[in-house]
Amino acid sequence: MDEVNAFLGKEKIGKLLLKFSLPCILSMVIGALYNIVDQLFIGNSELGYFGNAATSIVYPITIIVLAFALMWGDGCAAYMSIAQGKKDTSKVNNAIGTCLIASLLMGLIIVIICGFLAEPILTAFGASGQTLTYAKTYLYTLLPGIPFYLIATMLVSVVRADGSPKYSMIATLTGCFVNIALDPLFIFAFKMGMVGAALATVIGQLSCFVFMLVYFIKGYKTFKLKLYSFKPNFSLLGKASQMGLSSFLTNISTVVLSIVTNILLSKYGSTSIYGADIPVAVIGIVFKVFGIIISIAVGVAIGGQPILGYNYGAKNYHRVKETFKLIMIVDVIIGIVATVLVEAIPQYIIQLFGSDGGDLYIEYACYAFRIYLMLILFTCLTKAMAIFFQSIERPFTAIIIALGRDIVLLIPSLIIGSAIGGESDGVVSMLWAAPISDVLSLIIGIILVICFFRKISSKQSA
């Protein structure tokens, strides 16, 4: 078992990164589409931007679920890769089994909490009036699928680290295609509205779960799950959680950011020419587009995770450095292309989500895309840096980068920016918080990367 992935220490870096990153990028983008495809159809239905505002309100809950899935999934994946590099995989099966049990329990806990406290939670997230009604309907329909979504997403990372990136891609691709196929059927043909949109998502998630189940029934490459593998091991759970903590906090910071942003938009939007609903609906779409772009950039970094983890465990530091450089080069290209698109054609991007919002809707959307995503290139690089440190057993360095932009820098900047613009211009001035935070967070990331590589260079020369 230890030698199954030995090629990670020998094959050309470019070839390896292509092998692992391409399926990973597709998987990440498809995963992001789960949170965006409903809006594409809802925005073009009779629900309009009120329906889109409702899905934006529920969005933080789906990200919380994703946060736990990626913490244990990415944590197990990093643990597996480093263990393979060290030639010691004896505890991998128990780590995966324990994280599976934790995923199931957390999924059930989230369902219970949201089931009983849906209205106060959604209200706290910025919902009111018709938007609250739509949001409750959407959330209640999503709840039964949450445990399956959490487990399936967690296992996608494990399967990828097991040397089967294409299978994990096919699983998520199937789930997304099922969702896309059912959305117009349920929303337009059966006229099921928000229920139909959510139901299509749940069935898509179940499809991915079935694929993961089949993989574990048929067999795996680098570990074996036995009955004893599911005996809870809190030490291994802590280890996996620590190694995946950056993924968790990155997503939780997105939740906090989304909530704070929605509250500020509701407050300052109500006194602006745009009203409260337009800014909330628009920024929800901006976050989803942002999520797709970041999914591509992070997909490259996560695709490199098995290469980084294996070679770091084997002390092949020159291959670690070479892999990091290539990841950064690819993400620069991704960031440049994304910047050109959001700056040049924001009006066409927003119209994909419905075109009945009127002139003010389009006007604010153009401001939001062009200002908020102005330095998306920098964000791509900092997110990739966080994944890099997570892959090489530097979870707390990864956390510093992951939280630096969204929590430490961006949220205070949003609050200050909206206050500067005041009642009439707060919803526009707050958008400048993102590029300011992007510059500062990239500087922090570069400093930490330089310090790390100087440290391992001294180890090699010692």
pLDDT in tens, 98-127: 999 999 999 999 999 999 999 999 988 877
Whole-angstrom distance, CA of residue 102 vs CA of residue 167: 24
For the chain, how many structural domains are there in total? Answer: 1
Q: Residue 121 corresponds to which tokens in the numbers above?
A: 């939670």
Give the mean pLDDT of 83-105. Answer: 87
Range of the domain at 376: 6-461
Mean pLDDT confidence for 67-90: 84
At residue 1 the predicted structure's pLDDT band, cuts being 50, 70 and 90, is very low
Give the pLDDT band of residue 173 (cuts 50, 70, 90). Answer: confident
Query: What's the N-to-C CA distance of the chain in angstroms?
Result: 32
Instruction: For residues 360-383, give the mean pLDDT.
Output: 94
Is residue 1 a part of any domain in this protein? no
Higher local confidence (pLDDT), 86 or 146? 146
Q: Which residue has the higher pLDDT, 152 or 359?
A: 152
Higher pLDDT, 385 or 30: 385
What pLDDT, on the 0 to 100 scale, is given for residue 22? 84
Considering the domain boundaries, does residue 366 fall inside one?
yes
In a domain, 365, yes or no: yes
Res 452 pLDDT > 70 = yes
Which residue reads 């970041």 in tokens?
294
221, pLDDT greater than 90: no
> Residue 149 pLDDT more than 80?
yes
Per-residue pLDDT tens digits for 408-423: 999 999 999 999 998 8
Amino acid (one-letter) located at 77:
A
In the structure encoding, which two tokens stand for residue 156, read together? 């996608």
The percentage of the chain sitting over the pLDDT mark of 90, rounded to a whole number, equals 41
Distances (CA, A) of 311 to 62, 84, 165, 289: 34, 9, 18, 34
* Tokens at 55, concatenated: 């899905």
Task: Decide which of 4 and 299 is more confident.
Answer: 299
What would the mean pLDDT of 435-461 be, rounded to a whole number?
89
Q: Is the pLDDT of residue 357 over 80?
A: no
198 assigned to some structural domain:
yes
pLDDT at 400 over 60: yes
What pLDDT is recorded for position 385? 95
| Cα–Cα distance measured from residue 393 to residue 162, given in angstroms and rounded to the nearest whole number | 18
Say yes or no to pLDDT of 444 above 90.
yes
Higher pLDDT, 296 or 45: 296
Confirm whether 115 is domain-assigned.
Answer: yes
> Are the C-beta atoms of 424 and 274 separated by less than 8 Å?
no
In a domain, 262, yes or no: yes
Residue that wins the pLDDT comparison between 303 and 1: 303
In a domain, 10, yes or no: yes
Choose the weakest-confidence range: 13-17, 37-41, 58-62, 209-213: 37-41
Q: Tokens 């099922």 label which residue?
A: 178
- Cα gap 8→308, rounded to integer Å: 9
Q: What is the pLDDT of residue 34?
A: 63
* 172-349-280-439 Cα dihedral, nearest 10 degrees: 90
Q: What is this structure's pTM? A: 0.77
What pLDDT does residue 195 have?
94
- For the cut 80, the answer to whether the pLDDT of residue 140 exceeds it is yes
Tell me which of 410 and 10 has the higher pLDDT: 410
- Please give the full DSSP string across 130-199, using - where no structure is assigned: HHHHHHHHHHHHHGGGHHHHHHHHHHHHHHHHTT-HHHHHHHHHHHHHHHHHHHHIIIIIS--HHHHHHH
Which pLDDT score, from 0 to 100, does residue 238 have? 92
Cα 175 to Cα 140: distance, rounded to the nearest angstrom: 20
List strand residue ranges (DSSP E) for 316-357, in order.
none
Q: What is the pLDDT of residues 229-281, one digit of tens each?
A: 889 999 999 989 988 887 788 788 878 888 888 889 888 988 889 887 788 88
Confirm if 291 and 63 have CB atoms less than 8 A apart.
no
Mean pLDDT (the chain, rounded): 87
Q: Is 362 part of any domain?
A: yes
Please say whether the beta carbons of 449 and 398 come within 8 A. Answer: no
Examine the pLDDT at 311 and tell me if it is beyond 70: yes
pLDDT at 462 over 70: no
Average pLDDT over residues 418-447: 94
Looking at residue 77, its pLDDT comes to 86
pLDDT of 161 over the 70 cut:
yes
